[in-house]
Structures are given as structure tokens and as C-alpha cells.
Amino acid sequence: MQRRSTINITLVIFLALLLLHGIRSGEFSDPKHWFIKTLMLLPGIIIGIAFHEYAHALFASKLGDPTPKFQGRVTLNPIAHIEPFGFIALIFCGFGWGKPVMINPNNFRKRRRDELIVGLSGVVMNLVLAVVFTALLKFLLSTMGSAFSIGSPSAGLRYYLQLMVIYAVQINLVLMIFNLIPVPPLDGFGIIIEIFNLKNTQFYRVVYEYGQWILLILLLFGIVGRILQPAVSICMNLLFNIFGIPVYI
């Protein structure tokens, strides 16, 4: 309970500072533009978080741990997976997280292997969703034409539909890459720990204990942003190139 309270306090401080930064930088200077953009982001955020956490719960259940099922997490219902702070962070800050799926590793048949699979399942799901939404975007561009080409109208159903799908690709790549950062409570930490078998080391105990503060420092000093922005851009350009979608859209 103490650790949970500490994490919540950390997140409140972090979100307050980022909100203040957004106000000072003029991000909310055009409320109408911000509101429309937020509406366009919501489907990608809700789907990305729900499928990410569902993947964790599903694989844990399939590998022998009934805990997620008992807690009602083996579902695609977003309500079961939305974590308020993570949801707000995605809207205001461009990165975030869902409600962590609780597991009991003692129920796994091969504990180290199965923990690694469960850890990887969420980020792999976001990658799959990014590919699916890129394919959907290709279909929309092929059947409707690009709403982003020179001479195309800057508004209308076609524009907003295509923009919503582009944001869905972006959000899922953000969730994938952000969760791969090897700092608790993110998935990347558990993945690294299981790959290199570090659970019984001093490194694991120290980083696990102070992980939320390490992550807060990385966020406040913009290190996470400097990782996310180029990584998401590279992955997005790669997907668009694979599907033959012009990057300029």
C-alpha cells in the first residue's frame, strides 16, 4: 500500500508539472484545435491500452495463472484496463500506460519463460495493432484518396477518419516503445530481468525500489521524449514504407 501511495504521489507531481509546461508553451492556446485533436486521439488510446493489458491478462491465463481472470482482466472492455493517470498522460503528454495486470508467477509452469512471454505480450500486441491500423490507412487511401494531398479539403469526414487512423498507428507505437523502457513499472524492466536472469541480484532490488523516481527523472528531464520521438518516427516511417504510404501525409 505504501509503494502504491508513493507511485500515485509521484504521478500527480509529474502530471501537474507537465500540465504547467503545456500551459506555458501555448499547447492549450487554441482550445478548439486541442479538443478536436483529443477526440481524434481517443480511439487509438482506448484501443491501444485495452488490447495491451488484455494481451498480458490473456497470456498469463493461458500459461496457468488464473489471477487475471479472477480480477476480470481477461476482457477487451476498456473500463477494466484504463488507469486514470496513464490515460490523462497519453492525452496531455503523448505517452502513458494502462492499469497493470496483476499476476502470480508461482502459478506458471516455467516461471522465467512464462513471465517473459507475459511481459512481451503487451508490446507485441501494440505492434500488431500498429500494423493493422497502417493496413487500414492504406485501404482508406486506396478507396477514398488522400485527404492530405495538395488541393484536398482540409476538413470533412475523409480527413478526420484518416487522421484518426494515423493517430492510432502513432499511439500504439508510443505505447510499444514507452513500455519497452527498462524501468519499473514498465514492461521493459521485467523483460530485461527475465532475459538476463537478474531477479536475485542487487541491481533488481535497487531499481525495483526506486524505479518510479528514476522514471520521473527521465520524464522531467525530457530523456523519455528524446527516446520516443525519433523511435516512433522511425517505426512509423518504416511501416508506411512497407505499405507504400507516402510519409508526407
Active site residues: 53
| The three cell numbers locating residue 131 | 500494423
Instruction: State how far the alpha carbon of 151 is from the alpha carbons of 126, 148, 162, 190, 218, in Å.
Output: 34, 8, 16, 49, 42
Nearest-angstrom CA–CA distance, 235 and 223:
19
CA atoms within 13 A on the CB side of 58: 12
Query: End-to-end alpha-carbon separation of the chain, Å?
Result: 47
Vertex 92 angle, CA 57 and 119, to 5°: 20
Contacting residues for 146 by C-beta, under 8 A, at least 6 apart: 152, 162, 246, 249
Q: Which amino acid is at 96?
A: G
| The three cell numbers locating residue 130 | 500498429
Cβ atoms of 103 and 66 within 8 Å: the answer is no
Residue 247 phi, psi (nearest 5)? -65, -25
| The three cell numbers locating residue 34 | 486541442
